[in-house]
A = this chain, B = another copy of it.
Amino acid sequence: MGNKRHEKIGLSEEQVLEMYKTMLLARKIDERMWLLNRSGKIPFVISCQGQEAAQVGAAFALDRQKDWTAPYYRDLGVVLAFGMTPKDLMLSAFAKAEDPNSGGRQMPGHFGQKKNRILTGSSPVTTQLPHAVGVALAGKMEKQDFVSFVTLGEGSSNQGDFHEGLNFAGVHKLPVITMVENNKYAISVPFDRQVASENISIRASSYGMHGITVDGNDPIAVYEAVKDARERAINGEGPSLIEAVTYRLTAHSSDDDDRTYREKEEIEEAKKHDCVLTFSNYLKEVGVLTEELDEKIHAEVKELVNEATEYAEEAPYAAPEHALRFVYEE
């Protein structure tokens, strides 16, 4: 029985198992989407694979009944943790009318669901950051005690909106947590051709805020960092910038062929640290997860994914003329 790191930071067995299950569910939904894409059933997929630990670790450190989130396109793990269902996600992949994100109007990965306080997102990167700051500002004005949680990639941290949004949050000491999921590539461009600073969290000092880099393959480390940031935010100590170092295990998207710009060996090496695998190993080492339980979880997850896929595949598209609706309030 190894070192129970999760207990030390107050995570129960149930919680870590729930985290594990959420990570696995994200992974399996994603894998299924690739299959559906490759068999011509859905036109597009953009993946969470390799980043589930960061996403789920962070989300579990938040108050998922209260906090708001502005996720980016890879954040399957975040939105699942916030209450989106596999069915919702598959409806989005198939672009069906019932998709709660957009009714089939947006590509998969463009999350949004008001009832779960998931802000609607777009494709141009980093625009969601000022939105999250705006939600935090509103919360502060209304004397609410939630935080606002926003994510983006390390490439996207070079957009002007990153700077403008974080400076705004810093000046007004707003309860917003920004997590950069640094997966070392922005499509084909590697970290060192993309980001001039040694790491992303050092940029926190430009905004007078707390900054930290954590191992994004370790959900417990991410949980701890976000938990700490949340406490600061709630105590009026202002915003935080967290960098979760991960790796993108798939190509950028189903439209990308990553063989032109990165070595197979690099990916093989990264797969050894695949967070779903390493977290499962950890849970087994500390005796929380048995082989039997793991199988059961896998089966449950598979069932969920199957169900969701079938449902979504059968579900109807919105009528063509539905394209005319909801430009303005009706």
Residues of A near any B CB (own CB < 8 A): 158-164, 166-171, 192-198, 202-203, 205-209
Q: A160-B163, A160-B164 are in contact. Are A197 and B208 (CB under 8 A)?
A: yes
Specify the chain B residue showing the minimal Cβ separation from A164.
Answer: B160
How distant is A131 from chain B, measured CB to nearest CB, in Å? 15
Q: What separation, in Å, do the CA atoms of A208 and B202 have in the docked complex?
A: 10
Q: What separation, in Å, do the CA atoms of A160 and B159 have in the docked complex?
A: 7
Closest 9 pairs between A and B when the two form their complex, measured CB to CB: A160-B160, A170-B196, A163-B163, A196-B208, A196-B207, A203-B206, A171-B196, A206-B206, A167-B196
Q: Identify 23 residue pairs between A and B in the complex whose beta-carbon atoms are under 8 Å apart, listed by A's number.
A: A158-B164, A158-B167, A159-B160, A159-B163, A160-B161, A160-B163, A160-B164, A167-B195, A167-B196, A171-B196, A196-B206, A196-B207, A196-B208, A196-B209, A197-B206, A197-B208, A198-B208, A202-B205, A203-B205, A203-B206, A205-B205, A205-B206, A206-B206
Neighbouring B residues of A203 by C-beta, 8 Å: 205-206
Inter-chain pairs besides A162-B163, A197-B207, A197-B208, 13 sampled, C-beta below 8 Å: A158-B164, A159-B160, A159-B164, A160-B160, A166-B196, A167-B195, A171-B192, A171-B193, A196-B206, A196-B207, A198-B208, A202-B206, A205-B206
- Of A159, A167, A195, A205, the most chain B CB neighbours within 10 A belong to A167
Q: What separation, in Å, do the CA atoms of A319 and B205 have in the docked complex?
A: 53
Specify the chain B residue showing the minimal Cβ separation from A193.
Answer: B171
Q: What separation, in Å, do the CA atoms of A207 and B203 have in the docked complex?
A: 8
Specify the chain B residue showing the minimal Cβ separation from A208.
Answer: B196
Neighbouring B residues of A207 by C-beta, 8 Å: 196-197
How distant is A323 from chain B, measured CB to nearest CB, in Å? 33
How distant is A119 from chain B, measured CB to nearest CB, in Å? 20
Specify the chain B residue showing the minimal Cβ separation from A169.
Answer: B196
How distant is A208 from chain B, measured CB to nearest CB, in Å? 4
Specify the chain B residue showing the minimal Cβ separation from A166.
Answer: B196
How distant is A207 from chain B, measured CB to nearest CB, in Å? 4
How distant is A154 from chain B, measured CB to nearest CB, in Å? 11
Neighbouring B residues of A158 by C-beta, 8 Å: 163-164, 167
Specify the chain B residue showing the minimal Cβ separation from A191.
Answer: B171
Neighbouring B residues of A192 by C-beta, 8 Å: 171
Neighbouring B residues of A161 by C-beta, 8 Å: 160
Neighbouring B residues of A163 by C-beta, 8 Å: 158-160, 162-164
